[in-house]
Structure 1
Amino acid sequence: MFKTETFELDRANNALVFQRRIPASPERLFDAWTRPEQVRQWWDPSGRELAECEIDLRVGGLLRFVNAGPESFPFEGRFQQIDRPHGFAFDALGAAGSVRFVPDGEVTEMTVVIRCASPEHLQQFVQMGVADGTSRTLDNLASYVGSAQG
């Protein structure tokens, strides 16, 4: 079991690891991550709705998110694995990402891993503020599933 929110910079594996305990089912969280009408509500770290959100939920399918603000850039990737409701894996920005959901009573333990290709790649992500941005995005997700119906 882990705290409600944890973050680890795992230099041995060139990874950023985020964990959250969220009072929602794995099914609810999987849907919040994979349905465009839901993702557009919480993905942007600033809390703004996404300008664009495309999800082709199949192995090899595209995911593309574009923030609405002036600092926006497309986040694009492809699904590598889908295991509803337990999680999924994808490639984006040269990194391998995974999201896993494990039920624990009334909450779900969610683990998000961003594995970079090299120590230099990891350092680029650190300098770009990926840890802070992802933490804010996951906070948005927790608020969204806590307030949204369904």
Structure 2
Amino acid sequence: MPSALQNAPGSNLGIDRASNTIRLARDFDAPPADIFEAWTKPEHVTCWWDAAGDPLAVCEIDLRPGGSFRFVTRGHPDLPFAGVYREIAPPDRLIFEALGSTGRVLIREADGRTHMIVEIECSSSEQLDQFLKMGVSAGTGRTLDSLVAYMRSRASRAA
């Protein structure tokens, strides 16, 4: 059976209509544990989460299964991104629910680098279409680009 995943050539973005999932991938020159920490420690998340590149106004993380998180950007203080953690498996996997969807951060070492896949599994094809129209994939892509830049800046400061 052919894959339902649609990728633009050279893109780090895929849309899997069979599972109503948006997938984004990034590679890092940092260990998986550092990437996982960047997703789970407020002092790091605050620095890269906002797609506009500004530090978060609020970053609250209760890192445990059933614990919640809330991120508030300076540009949209009335639209917090909030959810609940479902699975925490350092440094490989972080699963959470937010905006009626399931988010997965999958991290693995490959060829001396770290490969990360972020999945947003929507509850329906209608929600997937709504997320795509709202620009969730583009905004998430910019946010992940900010994470890549943040990790590079941390590495250069440490060198």
TM-score by length of 2: 0.88
Q: Does 1:138 find its partner at 2:144?
A: yes
Aligned-partner Cα distance in 1 for 2:130–2:58: 25
Residue deviations 1:5-48, cap 9 Å, x none? 61001111101001111111110000000000100100000000
Residue deviations 1:102-127, cap 9 Å, x none? 10133101010000000001111111
Q: Does 1:57 find its partner at 2:92?
A: no
**Unpaired segments of 5 or more residues in structure 1?**
none
Aligned-partner Cα distance in 1 for 2:95–2:106: 9
Q: Structure 1 residues 44, 86: closer, same or farther in 2, change over 3 A?
A: same
Equivalent position SS for 2:51 = coil
- Asked whether the 8 Å contact 1:16–1:113 carries over to 2, the reply is yes
Q: Which amino acid aligns with 2:83?
A: G
Q: Does 1:81 find its partner at 2:69?
A: no
Q: Which amino acid aligns with 1:101?
A: I
Aligned length: 148
Pairing of 1:96-135 with structure 2 (within 5 A)? 96-135=102-141
Give the root-mean-square deviation of aligned CA atoms: 1.6
Partner of 1:48: 54
- Asked whether the 8 Å contact 1:4–1:20 carries over to 2, the reply is no
Q: Which amino acid aligns with 1:112?
A: V
- Asked whether the 8 Å contact 1:50–1:68 carries over to 2, the reply is yes
Q: CA deviation at 1:145?
A: 0.7
- Asked whether the 8 Å contact 1:4–1:21 carries over to 2, the reply is no
Q: Does 1:34 find its partner at 2:40?
A: yes
Equivalent position SS for 2:18 = helix
Partner of 2:24: 18
Q: 2:14 aligns with which of 8, 13, 36?
A: 8
**Unpaired segments of 5 or more residues in structure 2?**
1-8
Q: Which amino acid aligns with 1:85?
A: P
Q: Which of the two has higher C-alpha Rg?
A: 2
Q: Structure 1 residues 79, 24: closer, same or farther in 2, change over 3 A?
A: same
Residue deviations 1:29-85, cap 9 Å, x none? 000000001001000000001110001110000011011014751101000000001
Aligned-partner Cα distance in 2 for 1:70–1:40: 15
Equivalent position SS for 2:102 = strand
